[in-house]
């Protein structure tokens, strides 16, 4: 039986992936940041860990426990993350660091700890959850864009460093998928962005908040969370997984436009989204 550690399983993509993988005979170690979510996962029959990816000791404990239980680790799915909306000029360094601490540095901590295990046992899969916003950038999403672009850079490098081994790095670029992403992003916007007096004050009030208050299932090309879960399942069931998987039509379209359009034309197109 294969096993996998998944971060960010409290809801949405993480939870759906844990459920689908478990249903298909994969031993899932599901983790979440909050105690109440860990208890929910236990009630669903998962072996669980409390992991805030910013806490290296919690990651270390989880991996050591998995090795004691199973004597191996087949894969990790770095899924935990959130989006911090707001114009770049309204993002403080403190807020930007918070975005990176979870989306990038937390992902990297689990990656390097898992790599130590994979190097010793000679195999393993690291599945990194990036985004369509790791391929292209959209306005008012600068913090999230930057964190996902950083993931792309570290993944592109790591893939070269594991060439010739049985260790595989797969990046999933997800477009609009049903989850609590926008709901959580709205909370971050209200908490961390000063609207009054901003150059973008009217846009924030009329446009951005309205978008954030719209559920993902009303977004163009939206797919259910199972679309990502089934991609992770495909990776788990593939001997040599691909380095990159696009999920949603939006990702395929925007990835195509990034390859064929000039920077100026792409900027004009994206500014209309």
Q: Show which residues are catalytic.
A: 144
CA distances from 132 to 36, 179, 251 (A): 31, 15, 5
| Tokens 């114009």 -> residue | 87
- What the block records as the tokens of 237 is 């069931």
CA distance 105 to 214: 29
* 156 φ/ψ angles, rounded to the nearest 5 degrees: -60, -35
Give all strands (DSSP E) within the chain, no chain letters: 3-6, 27-32, 47-50, 75-78, 123-129, 166-174, 244-247
Is residue 31 within 8 A of residue 9, CB to CB? The reply is yes
33 burial class (0-12, 13-18, 19+ CB within 10 angstroms)? buried
236 with 21: CB under 8 angstroms?
yes
Contact 196, 223 (CB under 8 A): no
Closest residue by Cα to residue 130 from 246, 38, 215 = 246
d(CA 35, CA 10): 10
Greatest alpha-carbon pair distance for the chain in Å reads 57
């Amino acid at each position: 039986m294969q096993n996998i550690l998944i971060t960010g399983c409290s809801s949405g993509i993480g939870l759906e992936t844990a459920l689908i993988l478990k249903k298909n005979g994969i031993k899932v170690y599901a983790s979440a940041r909050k105690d109440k979510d860990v208890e929910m996962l236990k009630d669903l029959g998962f072996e669980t860990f409390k992991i805030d990816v910013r806490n290296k000791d919690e990651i270390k404990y989880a991996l050591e426990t998995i090795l004691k239980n199973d004597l191996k680790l087949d894969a990790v799915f770095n899924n935990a993350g959130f989006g911090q909306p707001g114009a770049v000029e309204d993002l403080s360094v403190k807020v930007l660091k918070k975005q990176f601490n979870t989306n990038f540095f937390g992902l990297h901590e689990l990656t390097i700890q898992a790599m130590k295990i994979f190097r010793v046992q000679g195999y393993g899969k690291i599945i990194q959850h990036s985004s369509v916003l790791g391929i292209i950038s959209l306005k008012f999403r600068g913090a999230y864009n930057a964190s996902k672009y950083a993931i792309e850079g570290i993944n592109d490098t790591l893939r070269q460093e594991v060439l010739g081994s049985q260790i595989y790095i797969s990046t999933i670029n997800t477009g609009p998928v049903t989850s609590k992403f926008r709901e959580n992003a709205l909370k971050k916007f209200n908490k961390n962005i000063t609207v009054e007096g901003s150059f973008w004050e009217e846009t924030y009030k009329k446009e951005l908040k309205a978008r954030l208050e719209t559920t993902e299932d009303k977004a163009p090309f939206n797919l259910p969370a199972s679309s990502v879960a089934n991609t992770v399942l495909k990776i788990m069931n593939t001997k040599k997984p691909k380095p990159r998987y696009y999920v949603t039509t939006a990702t395929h379209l925007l990835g195509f436009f990034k390859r064929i359009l000039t920077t100026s034309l792409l900027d004009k197109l994206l500014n209309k989204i």
